[in-house]
Amino acid sequence: MIKKEIYLDYAATTPVDPAVIAVMIECLGSSGDSANPSSSHLPGRRAKARVEVARSQIAKRIGVSSDTVWFTSGATESDNMALIGAMRANAHRGRHLITSVLEHKAILDTAHALEAEGTEVTYVNHDSDGIVDPDQISEAIRDDTVLVSIMHVNNETGVLQDIAAIGQRCHECGVLFHVDAAQSTGKVALKLEDWAVDLASLTAHKTYGPMGIGAIYISEGVSLDPMIHGGEQEGGFRPGTLATHQIVGFGKAFELADPDSDGPLLAARRDRLWTGLNAIEGVFLNGHPAQRSPHVLNVTFPGVEGSSLQLALANVAISAGSACNSDIPDPSHVLRGMGLSDVLAESTLRFSVGRFTTEAEIDYVVGRIQDEVPRLRALASGAPAWTAS
Amino acid sequence: MIKKEIYLDYAATTPVDPAVIAVMIECLGSSGDSANPSSSHLPGRRAKARVEVARSQIAKRIGVSSDTVWFTSGATESDNMALIGAMRANAHRGRHLITSVLEHKAILDTAHALEAEGTEVTYVNHDSDGIVDPDQISEAIRDDTVLVSIMHVNNETGVLQDIAAIGQRCHECGVLFHVDAAQSTGKVALKLEDWAVDLASLTAHKTYGPMGIGAIYISEGVSLDPMIHGGEQEGGFRPGTLATHQIVGFGKAFELADPDSDGPLLAARRDRLWTGLNAIEGVFLNGHPAQRSPHVLNVTFPGVEGSSLQLALANVAISAGSACNSDIPDPSHVLRGMGLSDVLAESTLRFSVGRFTTEAEIDYVVGRIQDEVPRLRALASGAPAWTAS
Amino acid sequence: MDYSSEVEQRFLSPSRVGEFEKGTPGLVSGEAADRTLNVWIRFQVQVLDGAIRAARFSVYGCPYTVAAADWAAEWLEGRSSTALEELGMLRRYKKLGVPVEKLGKLLLIEDAAAACWRELDGLERQKRN
Amino acid sequence: MDYSSEVEQRFLSPSRVGEFEKGTPGLVSGEAADRTLNVWIRFQVQVLDGAIRAARFSVYGCPYTVAAADWAAEWLEGRSSTALEELGMLRRYKKLGVPVEKLGKLLLIEDAAAACWRELDGLERQKRN
Ligand SMILES: Cc1ncc(COP(=O)(O)O)c(C=O)c1O
Ligand SMILES: Cc1ncc(COP(=O)(O)O)c(C=O)c1O
C-alpha cells in the first residue's frame, strides 16, 4: 500500500549528513581515532585534538569562543544543567526563575522540579502568534530573579523569539539569560555573544549530526553547579568519557550547518508546501507568519481528526504536536497556549522540512493531503460543529 | 622514530567492533533507521523496534529482564543517577550511604557531593590485594543505611569484588545495592538478578560499543528520583531523545561480548604479558593475583619514573593510573589505598588487553619494556633508595 | 501508533461509509458523541422484517474508531434488529488489535447503535398504536 | 603529555648520561633531590683551568627533567666554571617547550649544578690554603 516513504519530521530529528557519517566512522574502529580523549598517550591526544576542532566548529557557528562550549548528552541535559545548575549556584542572589509557557518539556519539567525544591517560577505568556513580548520579561524580573530561560525557535510552530531584545533586558537587570537553541542551528543565525546570552542549550541531532550529543554554552564568569560528578572532563562541568565520534560528528555537522545557504532552501520548500496546503478549504497556519524559522510549518485541518490524518498519510513521516510528545495523547500545550481548542489542536500537524527534502516530495505530500482531507471530512459528514472548531 | 602503534589501553576505552560499526551506520543516514524512536510514524516505530532489540540484548548479557534497563549517556551518569536518585527517593529510610575507597571517581565525587547535602557516607577499606571484605559491608550497615555501592571490576587493577556475597548481605539487611559494572561486561559473567543487585551502571565503550551511551539497571520496585527532567522517555527515569545508532551499537556490542569466548583469550594475552614483564628485576603486580578480570594488568616498575617509562614507550598506548585520571598528576588513590608509596604508585602502569590484541603485540611490548626499564634505571644510577621504594 | 493491518485496511477503505438514499424503506438512525474523547459517530441501518439488511456510518474520530465502526456496521448486516440494542462488540474489538485504553472511545459505537434501536423501537410502537 | 620533539629526542637519547672514569682529573660533582617532586639529579663536571671541559649527569625524574639536565650539561661544556654557580637556565627551558608548572622540578638541576660549584669552590680554597 505504501509506495514510498517521505520524511517531513526534521524538527524531531534529522538523518545524519553523509559527510558527518564519514568523520564519525574515522573515530570508531581499531584503525581510527577511537582512543579516550582524556588519555595522555598518542592516540588519546589525537582524539583530543579532534574534539577540540569540533569544539571550535560549534563555537564558531553560534558566535562564541571555544572555551565556553561544553559537551553534554543533548539539549535535554543542557536545559536541565542550565536551570538547575544556575539556580543552585546563584541561590544567594535569589530563587526566582522566569520562563515561558511555550518552552520544551525539558525546560518546563525542570522548572516544575525546581518548584518542588522551593524555586519560584513565573511562566510568561505569549500572544496568539506565539511571540513572547520582551517587555513582559522586563516586567516579570524581580530583585530575586536569578535566571530567564526562553527558547529561540519553538519546536512545534517554528516561531522565533527576539533573543537579542530579551537578552538586552536581562543584561540591563543583571539577570542570567538561558536560551534553548536546540531547533535553531543551521536554520537561523545565532550570535549568542552579541545577544548577551549567558547560557544556551544545543543538540547535534536536529542539525544533521548524531543523536545523543549536545552542548551547553556557559558564558565566561557565569556560575553553574555541575549536575553530574566524577572526573575533570569538560572543565568539571560535565564529567564522563568524551564520546569522540559523536563530538567530531557534531562539530562537522555544525560546520556544514550554514543558515545562509540552508535557510533559503528550507524556506522555499516550506513555502511550496504551505501554498499547496493553503489551497485546502479551512486550513490555517499556526504561529507568526513571518517571525519564524524556515523549517517548520504547523497547520490545522479543521474537521479532520489528527491521528486519522496521520494514518491516512502513513508513508509520510510527520508529527502530531512535537515529536518528543508523540507518545502522549494530550493535545499540545503550545497550541492550546496560542488559543486553539483541544479539537483544533488535535487536528494539527507539524511538517518540518530539511536539507534532503525535494520539491517532488513536497508535491507528492500536497497531493496526498489534498485527497485525504476531503475524504476524511466526508467520512465525518454530518458531524456536529465542535469537531471543526 | 615510532615504528608502529600498539594499543594496550582497552580499560580506558575500546575501539568499536566492525560488526557494531555496521549496525550503527544502518541508523545514521537518510536511508537508514535514523528517525526519532519516540515518533509515532513508521520510521519512528522502526527505530523504536531496534532500540528495543538492543535493550533486550543488553538485559540478556547482564542477566536481567528488558524492562529494567534504561539508557543513559554512560556509566558516569548512571553512577550519579544511582547514588543521587536512590538517596533522594529513599530519604525517608535514612541518609547513610556505604561505598569503598577504591571506587571510580564517578562514585567518589558523587558521594562527596551527597555529603555536602547532608548524606553520611562510610568509605569501607579493602585489603592490600584490593579486595573488599563482604563482612565489612555487613558491619558498616546501619538502621539508616539506604544504599551500598561497590564496583565489580576495578578499573585500575582489574580486581574483582565478590558481588554475590555483598548482594546477599545487603539483601538480608534490606539495603539497596548498586554495582558499577562499567569494566565487567564481556570480560566476566554478570548475573545481576541472581546476585540480588538492585542498581547497576553500564557503559558501551569499554566493551567494543560506542562512547557516550550507557545504561542503568533498576530492579523492579526500586525507587529512584530522576536526575534529568523533560519528556517521558525511558520510563521517565531518563528523558531526552534516544540515540538510536548509539543504542543499537551498544546492543550489538553486548550481544557479541561473551565472556566465555573473550575471557580466555584476554587471560592468555594478559598472562603472556605478565610472564614477560615479571622477568624484569624487581617488578611486581598490584591487586589480587587470582580474583581479577582477565583484561587488566597493573604493574609497578620500581626505580623507574612512570611518565618517563610512558614516553620511552610512546608508541604503546598504556595508562599511568586510570585513563580518566591521566590528566591529573596525583598518584592513584586506588594504588595508595593498597599500600603503595607515592613514588611506587608513580612507577606503575596499567596495561589492558582486548579482543584485538595479538601475541605479536604483546611480545613487542615486552621486548621494549625489557630494554627500556634497564635503560631508565641506568639513567638514575646512584639515585637514593626512596626513588625505588 | 502501530495499527494492526485490519485496522489500517478498514480505516483506509471503509466499506460502509455514508448514508442511504433518501426514501430507502426501513431506515433508522442514531448517533452518539463525546467531546472530551473527540468522537462522534452516526449509524444508519435499514431494518426490514426485523432484520438488518444494511448498515452505514459516519464518524469523526481516530483510526480505531473508524475501523471499529466499519466492522460493527458489517457485523450488523444480516442480523436481527435486536443486535442494535446491545452490540456487545468490545471483546471483539480487542481481536481487531485495539489497545485497551482506546476501548472507551468505541463505546460510542455501541451508543450510536443503541440510539438506532431506540428509534426503531419508537417507530414500532407508533405502528402498533 | 605532549612533549616537544626536542624534549623527546633528548629524553630518548641523552648524550651526557653517566659518570666519568675514576681518576679523571678535575672532577667535581653535586646532587640535589626533592622527594615531594619525585626528582633526583646528580652532575659531574670536569673543570680544568677554570673551564668546564665536560659534564655528565644522572637523573631520576620525568622526561622534562631528563631532557633539561641533558641540555644543561651540554650548555655547561666549554663555559667558565662560574656558570655552575648560577646556571640560570629556567628561561631557556621554556624554549625547550617545558610547561611552566614543570619548571619547579627543573630548579633541582640548578641546585645540582650549584652543588658542583660549592665542591669546586671548596677544593680551590683547599688548594689555596
Ligand atoms: C526546543 C527543544 N529543546 C530541547 C530538545 C531536547 O533535545 P535532545 O533531544 O537533544 O535532548 C528538543 C528536541 O527534542 C527541542 O526541540
Ligand atoms: C569503573 C568505572 N566506572 C565508571 C566509568 C565511567 O564510565 P563512562 O566513561 O561511560 O562515563 C569508568 C570509565 O571511565 C569506569 O572504569
Q: What is the CATH number of the domain that holds B372?
A: 3.90.1150.10
Q: Given an 8 Å threshold on Cβ–Cβ distance, is A343 in contact with C35?
A: yes
Task: Check pLDDT > 60 for residue B327.
Answer: no
DSSP A159: B
DSSP state string for D71-121: HHHHHHTTSBTHHHHT---HHHHHHTT--GGGHHHHHHHHHHHHHHHHHHH
Task: Check pLDDT > 80 for residue B322.
Answer: no
In a domain, residue B317? The reply is yes
DSSP state string for A240-273: S---HHHHHHHHHHHHH--HHHHHHHHHHHHHHH
CA dist., res. A374 & res. A363, Å (int)? 17
Q: Which residues of chain B lie closer than 8 angstroms to A39, CB-CB?
A: 9, 12-13, 317, 319, 323, 326
Task: Using a cut of 0.90, tell me whether the model's pTM lies above it.
Answer: yes
- The pLDDT of residue A328: 44
DSSP state string for A67-134: GGEEEES-HHHHHHIIIIIHHHHTGGG-SEEEEETTS-HHHHHHHHHHHHTT-EEEEE---TTSPPPH
Q: Are D31 and D42 in contact (CB under 8 A)?
A: yes
Across the interface, of A310, A311, A381, the residue whose CB is closest to C58 is A381
Q: List the 23-42 stretch of D: residues with Cβ below 8 A of B.
A: 33, 35, 38, 40, 42
Beta-strand relationship, B348-352 and B316-317: unpaired
Residue B271: how many other CB atoms lie within 10 Å = 15
Interface chains of chain A (3 or more CB pairs under 8 Å):
B, C
Across the interface, of A343, A380, A384, the residue whose CB is closest to C59 is A380
In a domain, residue B20? The reply is no
CA dist., res. B164 & res. B167, Å (int)? 5
Task: Check pLDDT > 70 for residue B187.
Answer: yes
Q: Check if B75 has its Cβ closer than 6 Å to any atom of ligand 2.
A: yes
Out of A254-268, B55-69, B116-130, C110-124, which region has the weakest mean confidence (pLDDT)? C110-124
Task: Check pLDDT > 60 for residue B258.
Answer: yes
CA A281 vs. chain centroid, Å, equals: 31
**Bridge partners, residue B324, by sequence:** none
In a domain, residue D129? The reply is no
In a domain, residue B333? The reply is yes
CA dist., res. C111 & res. C104, Å (int)? 11
Task: Check pLDDT > 90 for residue B309.
Answer: yes
Domain region containing C64: 5-121
Question: Hey, which of A9, A155, A216 would you mutate to test ligand 1's pocket, going by the most ligand atoms within 8 Å of its Cβ?
Answer: A155
What cell numbers appear for A140 in the block? 516579570
Touch of C by A (3+ CB pairs closer than 8 Å): yes
Length of chain C, in residues: 129
Per the structure, the count of domains in chain A is 1
Atom of ligand 1 nearest to the CA of A11: 16
A76/B contact by beta carbon, under 8 A: yes
- The pLDDT of residue B3: 54
- Mean pLDDT, rounded, for C52-79: 94
Ligand lying nearest the CA atom of residue A205: 1
- Per residue in B353-362, pLDDT (tens digit) is 999 999 999 9
Q: Are A193 and A63 in contact (CB under 8 A)?
A: yes
In a domain, residue C100? The reply is yes
Q: What are phi and psi of D14, to 5 degrees?
A: -65, 140
- The pLDDT of residue B326: 43
Task: Check pLDDT > 60 for residue B328.
Answer: no
CA dist., res. D44 & res. D57, Å (int)? 6
Note down pLDDT in tens along chain A; length 389 residues. Answer: 345 899 999 999 999 999 999 999 999 999 899 999 999 899 999 999 999 999 999 999 999 999 999 999 999 999 999 999 999 999 999 999 999 999 999 999 999 999 999 999 999 999 999 999 999 999 999 999 999 999 999 999 999 999 999 999 999 999 999 999 999 999 999 999 999 999 999 999 999 999 999 999 999 999 999 999 998 889 889 999 999 999 999 999 999 999 999 999 999 999 999 999 999 999 999 999 999 999 999 999 999 998 899 999 989 999 875 434 444 446 688 888 889 998 999 999 999 999 999 999 999 999 999 999 999 999 999 999 999 99
Q: Given an 8 Å threshold on Cβ–Cβ distance, is A317 in contact with B44?
A: yes
B79 CB burial (10 A radius; 0-12, 13-18, 19+): buried
- The pLDDT of residue A321: 56
Touch of C by D (3+ CB pairs closer than 8 Å): no
Task: Check pLDDT > 80 for residue C81.
Answer: yes
In a domain, residue D89? The reply is yes
In a domain, residue B370? The reply is yes
In a domain, residue A276? The reply is yes
A308/B contact by beta carbon, under 8 A: no
In a domain, residue B103? The reply is no
In a domain, residue A292? The reply is yes
Across the interface, of A303, A307, A386, the residue whose CB is closest to C63 is A307
Across the interface, of B36, B232, B240, the residue whose CB is closest to A12 is B36
In a domain, residue D128? The reply is no
For A37-74, b/e burial (b = at least 16 CB within 10 A) is: bbbbbbbbbbbbebbebbbbbbbebbebeeebbbbbbb
Q: Check if B350 has its Cβ closer than 6 Å to any atom of ligand 2.
A: no
In a domain, residue D116? The reply is yes
| H-type alpha helices, chain B | 18-25, 42-62, 75-80, 86-89, 105-116, 134-140, 163-173, 244-256, 259-278, 306-312, 333-337, 342-346, 359-379
Q: What is residue B366's three-state secondary structure?
A: helix
What cell numbers appear for A39 in the block? 588519555
Which residues of A are designated catalytic?
324
CA dist., res. D110 & res. D85, Å (int)? 8
- The pLDDT of residue D1: 66
CA dist., res. B189 & res. B209, Å (int)? 17
The distance of D41 to chain B (nearest Cα, Å) reads 8
- The pLDDT of residue B196: 97
Nearest Cα residue to A310 out of A360, A382, A376, A383: A376
Interface chains of chain B (3 or more CB pairs under 8 Å):
A, D
The distance of B14 to chain D (nearest Cα, Å) reads 21
Task: Check pLDDT > 90 for residue C107.
Answer: no
Ligand lying nearest the CA atom of residue B80: 2
Atom of ligand 2 nearest to the CA of B212: 10
Ligand 1 environment, Cβ below 6 A: A 74-76, 79, 104, 106, 151, 155, 180, 182-183, 203, 214, 324; B 240-241
- Per residue in B329-354, pLDDT (tens digit) is 466 888 888 899 999 999 999 999 99
Q: Which residues of chain B lie closer than 8 angstroms to D59, CB-CB?
A: 379-380
DSSP B187: T
Out of A118-122, A140-144, B77-81, C108-112, which region has the weakest mean confidence (pLDDT)? C108-112
Domain region containing A315: 6-14+258-381
Look up the ipTM and state it.
0.91
Q: Which residues of chain B lie closer than 8 angstroms to A233, CB-CB?
A: 324
DSSP B84: I
- The pLDDT of residue D88: 77
Residue type present at position A14? T
* Residue whose CA is at the smallest distance from ligand 1 atom 7: A75
D116/B contact by beta carbon, under 8 A: no
Residue B243: how many other CB atoms lie within 10 Å = 29
Residue B137: pLDDT band with limits 50, 70, 90: very high
CA dist., res. B149 & res. B298, Å (int)? 23
- The pLDDT of residue B263: 96
In order of A64, A140, A222, the CA distances from A168 in angstroms are 17, 14, 16
Q: Check if B324 has its Cβ closer than 6 Å to any atom of ligand 2.
A: yes
Q: Which residues of chain D lie closer than 8 angstroms to B308, CB-CB?
A: 11, 61-63, 66
DSSP C80: B
Per the structure, the count of domains in chain C is 1
Q: What is the CATH number of the domain that holds C83?
A: 3.90.1010.10
C66/A contact by beta carbon, under 8 A: yes
> Best of A21, A70, A103, A211 to disrupt the B interface by mutation (most B CBs within 10 Å)?
A211
DSSP B286: -
B315/A contact by beta carbon, under 8 A: yes
Atom of ligand 1 nearest to the CA of A154: 1
Q: What are phi and psi of A98, to 5 degrees?
A: -115, 130
Note down pLDDT in tens along chain D; length 129 residues. Answer: 679 999 999 999 999 999 999 999 999 999 999 998 999 999 999 999 999 999 999 999 999 999 999 999 999 999 999 999 888 777 778 788 888 888 888 889 989 998 999 999 898 888 887
Across the interface, of A342, A378, A380, the residue whose CB is closest to C40 is A380
- The pLDDT of residue C128: 84
Instruction: Give catalytic status of residue B324 as yes or no.
Output: yes
Q: Are B263 and B69 in contact (CB under 8 A)?
A: no
Beta-strand relationship, B284-285 and B296-300: antiparallel
A153/B contact by beta carbon, under 8 A: no
Q: Which residues of chain B lie closer than 8 angstroms to D108, CB-CB?
A: none
Ligand lying nearest the CA atom of residue A159: 1
